[in-house]
Amino acid sequence: MCDGLADGDLTRNTGPDTRDEPGRMARSLDAAMTRLRATVATIEGSAASLAGATEQMTGTSALIGRAGRLGGGSGHRGDVVHDEQTR
């Protein structure tokens, strides 16, 4: 199990379930691995959300840039951006 952890494998468990000190240590290590798996899953979800938000912001920035070029400073930029986003 420790070798797997060192290799990045978070799916393994210690296996032995005894009531002595090594067994308690093994259960504690299993509990830590469970929390670590949950933390990694949360980070993966956050990274995916961040990537999606970045993509949306990039698209919005592109629309604003086009609106600025099309509007020519005439005050119609918001209308162009809104029209582009609703298509």
Question: What is the count of structural domains for the chain?
Answer: 1
Q: What is the mean pLDDT of residues 15-21?
A: 86
The residue range of the domain holding 55 is: 2-85
pLDDT digits (tens, 9 = 90+) for 19-50: 999 999 999 999 999 999 999 999 999 999 99
For the ranges 2-11, 21-30, 74-83, the maximum mean pLDDT occurs at: 21-30
Structure tokens belonging to residue 69 = 């070029």
Alpha carbons 86 and 79: distance in angstroms, whole number: 11
At 1 the pLDDT is 80
* Structure confidence at residue 78 as a pLDDT band (50, 70, 90): low
Q: Specify whether the CB–CB gap between 17 and 26 falls below 8 A.
A: yes
Which DSSP string corresponds to 15-70? ----SSHHHHHHHHHHHHHHHHHHHHHHHHHHHHHHHHHHHHHHHHHHHHHHHHHH
